[in-house]
Each structure stands twice: as structure tokens, then as C-alpha cells.
């Protein structure tokens, strides 16, 4: 295992593509093993692709691109702008609402952050918001997208950890809403102190709010239909992904009449690029996952951890702290694939619900994308807004602190996270 770790770190340090970092590191295990032929590694790659639940990933990635091309994003932005732009920190509050609404569409925090940086970023800067504050709000609020269905990360966690994806989808709804509220309150406090209030701000009338909501009705209806389709047993999570693609095409062509052939082709082109990258990482992770299981790493870490800590909540806190530190250096998708097989046996051995833990892990792991030194969402937003990393880091601390306090609160309130899964299933 030490050799795998060394090769992994060296390749990561020299900037090799992450899929090849994982794949080459995994093959090192077979090359130095006397009892495992190299052909087993190739078989593990093929085995990772033979999964029905995994079909949800490419379908939901494609759905996100099709919905962006069909005018749904613009309608969600208009609704969010009408609903909360009158508050202190108006456009920053719009970012929070838009992230929440996009959580039911894109399923990707990085994609959502990039989209908001293009749509909201210039307007925030024009209204006098600092670059650091604008970038921090756009990047960190995208974290909400990661826990609301159809979250790509939750699909991967459920697939690798053998946890119900339907229950995970349900479990992410209340924490996602709570995260929205916590971030809105944090932004409101900061905006009041800095006088980030639009001079012409006014509350919308009921008619204005109703018209904006009606304009975004098809986007707002999508996550509701998704939940009912899974709960009613009409579709599995994988089949819901296929249904979501059909939904996006129908709405874009018949309802909004904006999904032209050129836009459709461009959406497929972007989706293929994203899917290829994600699936290559998933396939290569099968080799490392096999090595981790064969070397009994989860059992060894569990014995080490449980030998020093007996309180279940302290065990989970220790695991989450470990994930947070690792998340500062590794991309979230990679962490979900490589570390889920290690940590799930540990937390289940102390009697902790894997669905409850999955939501906490998803938040902490995705948060790494918003933090230095290698946060993907952070670099994406900062590059689009031409913002210095130092300024971003300073402004992001209050929001990150608020999120971590929420994670701690959710840890000790399992009923909040598991209320909907237990009610629905």
C-alpha cells in the first residue's frame, strides 16, 4: 500500500491527469504482487463498467447540459432575482437561491459555480461587491448543489458504498435547504456591515413573484417529479436519469422552444467531454478499490481508530476531519470513489447510519473544491472573475465556517437528515 501511495503522490505532484494517476497507482499493486496476475487489474476495470446504477451518472450529466441549453437556467435566475434581490446582499442572496434551484437540475457543484460566475459575477462587481466576496459567495454557495437530488456525488457514494441512492436523494433535501438558510443569514450579516444594499431595492409584489415562478415552473417541477418517480417505484435512479433527459428535451423543444439542433449538438458535445472524464476516473478507481479491499485497509484503519475512540460520534468526527484534510488536495469525485470503501465499513461498525454519513461526507468532500490549495470550483470562479486567491480565501472563511457548524449540528441530529428517507421509504 505504501508503494501505491508514493506513486499516487508523485504522479499527482507532476500534474498527470487524475484518471491516469489512479490507474497507474493501481497497477503498481499488481506489478509488485506475487499472487495477483496483471490480468485481474484489467478485469477490474471492465467490471466497474458493468453496473446498472452507474448509468445514472452520464444521464444526469447530459440532463444538466440540456437544461442549460433549453433556457431553464435563465428562468431560474429570473425567479431568484425577483424573489431575493431586494434583500441586503441582494445579488449574493440570488446566488444562494440559484444554487439551491440548480441543485435539482445540474447535480454538479463545479458546473453550477462556473455558470453563476458568468451570469452573476459581472453584475455583482458592477454593483460594488468586492472581487473576493463575489467569488467566495458564488463558489461556496454552489456547495448546496452537491447534496440536493440528483447529486452526482451521492450517486457515486451509493454505488461504491452499496447504499440506497433513493434514500440518499431524500436525505439530501432538508440539509440542502438548511444550508441555503445558513448561507443566506451569513451573507445578510456581512452585507449589512458593508452596506451591500441596492439603492432601488424593493420587495416584489405577489403578482411579480407569481409570474416569475410560473416562468420557471418546468424547472421547479423537475426535482418534485424525480422524487415521486423514485418513491412510487415507477423508475429506478438510473431510469430516472434517462427520463430526465427526455424531460429536458421535451421542455426545451415544446415548452420553451429554445433547444435548437445546434444547441442540442453543443450540449451533447459538452456532456460527452464531462462523461468521458468522469467515467475514466470511475473505471480506473476499480483497480485501487480492489487493492484497498484485498489489503484489508478498512479493517486495519477501523481497528486503529476504534482502538483509541469508542464514542460513535467522535469516530465520525475523526473520519470527517480526515476527509476534510484530504479534500484540500484531492478532487471530490476521486475521494468519493477511493475513500467510500474505506470509511463506510468504519462508520457502520460503530452503528452509524450510512445514509446519514453519506450526506455529511458529501458536504465535507465537496467543500474541498472550494478551498485552497487545489479547489477546482475556487480556481474556476477566481479565473473567471480575475480574483486573487488570497482575497477569495479571506472572504470565504465566514461561509466555510458556517457550513462546518451546520455539519456538526447535523451530525448530532440524525432525525433531521433521516426524516424524509424514513417517511418516504
Q: What is the pLDDT of residue 174?
A: 93
Task: Give the C-alpha separation, 188 to 186, whole Å.
Answer: 5
- Whether residue 310 is predicted with pLDDT greater than 90 in this model: the reply is no
The answer on pLDDT for 15 being more than 70 is: yes
Record the pTM.
Answer: 0.79
Distance between CA 143 and CA 122 in Å, rounded?
Answer: 21
Instruction: Please tell me the predicted confidence (pLDDT) of residue 371.
Output: 82
Pick left, alpha or beta for residue 110 (phi over 0 → left; psi -120 to 50 → alpha; otherwise beta): alpha
Q: What's the pLDDT tens digit per position in 333-392?
A: 777 877 888 888 888 888 899 999 999 999 998 888 788 766 777 877 888 888 888 888
User: Band of the pLDDT at 419, cuts 50, 70, 90?
Assistant: very high
* The pLDDT of residue 410 is above 90: yes
Q: What is the mean pLDDT of the chain?
A: 82
Q: Would you list the DSSP string of 144-193?
A: GGGTSSS-HHHHHHHHHHT--HHHHHHHTHHHHHHHHHHHHHHHHHHHHH
How many Å apart are CA 66 and CA 76, to the nearest integer?
15
Residue indicated by cell numbers 475556487? 378
**Looking at the predicted structure, is the pLDDT value of residue 107 above 60?**
no
User: What's the number of CA atoms in the CB half-sphere (13 Å) around residue 247?
Assistant: 23
Task: Provide the pLDDT for residue 199.
Answer: 54
Taking the domains of the chain in order of start, what are their residue ranges?
2-424
Q: Which residue's entry shows cell 473544491?
A: 369
197/259: higher pLDDT: 259
**What's the pLDDT band for 405 if we cut at 50, 70, 90?**
very high
Q: What is the mean pLDDT of residues 33-54?
A: 74
Which of the listed ranges 121-135, 367-381, 383-397, 406-420 does the model predict with the highest average pLDDT?
Answer: 406-420
Number of C-beta neighbours around residue 268 at 10 A? 15
pLDDT computed for residue 89 by the predictor: 74
Tens digits of residue pLDDT in 185-232: 999 898 888 887 765 567 888 888 888 888 888 878 887 787 778 777
pLDDT at position 407 is 94
**Average confidence (pLDDT) over 269-281:** 80
Please state whether the peptide bond connecting residue 373 to the residue before it is cis, i.e. omega within 30 degrees of 0: yes
Percentage, residues of the chain above pLDDT 70:
92
> What pLDDT score does 175 carry?
94
Residue 396: all three cell numbers together: 470565504
The Cα 359–Cα 153 span in angstroms is 10
**Nine-digit cell at 281?**
476516473
- Highest mean pLDDT range out of 141-150, 191-200, 360-369, 395-404? 395-404
Is-contact 402 367, C-beta < 8 A?
no
Contact 290, 44 (CB under 8 A): yes
Distance CA 3, CA 7 (A): 6
Q: What is the largest CA-CA distance in the chain?
A: 73
Amino acid at each position: 500500500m505504501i508503494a501505491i501511495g508514493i506513486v499516487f503522490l508523485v504522479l499527482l505532484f507532476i500534474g498527470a491527469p487524475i484518471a491516469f494517476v489512479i490507474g497507474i497507482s493501481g497497477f503498481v499493486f499488481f506489478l509488485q504482487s506475487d499472487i495477483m496476475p496483471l490480468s485481474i487489474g484489467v478485469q477490474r476495470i471492465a467490471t466497474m463498467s458493468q453496473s446498472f446504477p452507474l448509468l445514472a451518472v452520464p444521464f444526469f450529466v447530459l440532463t444538466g447540459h440540456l437544461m442549460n441549453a433549453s433556457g431553464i437556467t435563465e428562468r431560474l435566475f429570473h425567479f431568484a432575482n425577483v424573489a431575493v434581490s431586494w434583500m441586503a446582499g441582494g445579488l449574493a442572496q440570488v446566488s444562494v437561491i440559484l444554487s439551491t434551484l440548480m441543485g435539482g437540475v445540474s447535480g454538479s457543484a463545479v458546473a453550477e459555480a462556473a455558470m453563476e460566475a458568468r451570469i452573476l459575477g459581472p453584475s455583482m462587481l458592477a454593483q460594488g461587491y468586492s472581487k473576493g466576496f463575489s467569488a467566495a459567495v458564488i463558489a461556496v454557495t454552489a456547495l448546496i448543489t452537491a447534496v440536493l437530488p440528483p447529486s452526482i456525488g451521492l450517486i457515486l457514494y451509493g454505488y461504491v458504498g452499496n447504499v440506497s441512492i433513493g434514500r440518499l436523494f431524500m436525505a439530501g433535501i432538508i440539509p440542502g435547504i438548511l444550508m441555503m438558510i445558513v448561507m443566506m443569514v451569513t451573507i445578510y450579516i456581512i452585507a449589512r456591515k458593508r452596506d451591500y444594499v441596492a439603492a432601488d431595492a424593493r420587495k416584489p409584489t405577489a403578482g411579480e413573484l407569481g409570474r416569475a415562478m410560473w416562468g420557471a415552473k418546468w424547472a421547479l417541477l423537475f426535482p418534485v417529479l424525480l422524487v415521486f418517480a423514485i418513491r412510487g417505484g415507477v423508475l429506478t435512479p438510473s431510469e430516472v436519469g434517462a427520463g430526465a433527459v427526455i424531460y429536458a428535451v421535451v421542455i426545451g423543444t415544446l415548452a420553451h422552444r429554445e433547444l435548437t439542433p445546434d444547441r442540442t449538438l453543443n450540449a451533447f458535445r459538452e456532456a460527452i467531454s464531462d462523461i468521458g472524464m468522469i467515467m475514466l476516473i470511475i473505471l480506473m478507481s476499480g483497480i485501487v478499490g480492489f487493492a484497498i479491499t484485498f489489503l484489508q485497509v478498512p479493517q486495519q484503519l477501523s481497528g486503529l481508530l476504534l482502538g483509541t475512540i469508542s464514542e460513535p460520534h467522535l469516530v465520525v468526527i475523526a473520519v470527517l476531519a480526515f476527509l476534510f484534510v484530504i479534500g484540500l488536495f484531492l478532487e471530490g469525485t476521486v475521494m468519493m470513489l477511493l475513500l467510500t470503501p474505506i470509511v463506510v465499513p468504519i462508520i457502520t461498525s460503530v452503528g452509524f447510519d450510512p445514509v446519514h454519513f453519506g450526506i455529511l461526507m458529501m458536504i465535507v468532500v465537496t467543500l474541498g473544491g472550494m478551498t485552497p490549495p487545489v479547489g477546482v470550483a475556487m480556481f474556476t470562479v477566481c479565473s473567471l472573475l480575475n480574483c486573487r486567491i488570497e482575497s477569495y480565501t479571506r472572504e470565504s472563511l465566514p461561509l466555510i465556517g458556517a457550513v462546518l457548524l451546520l455539519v456538526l449540528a447535523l451530525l448530532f441530529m440524525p432525525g433531521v437528515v433521516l426524516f424524509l428517507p424514513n417517511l418516504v421509504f
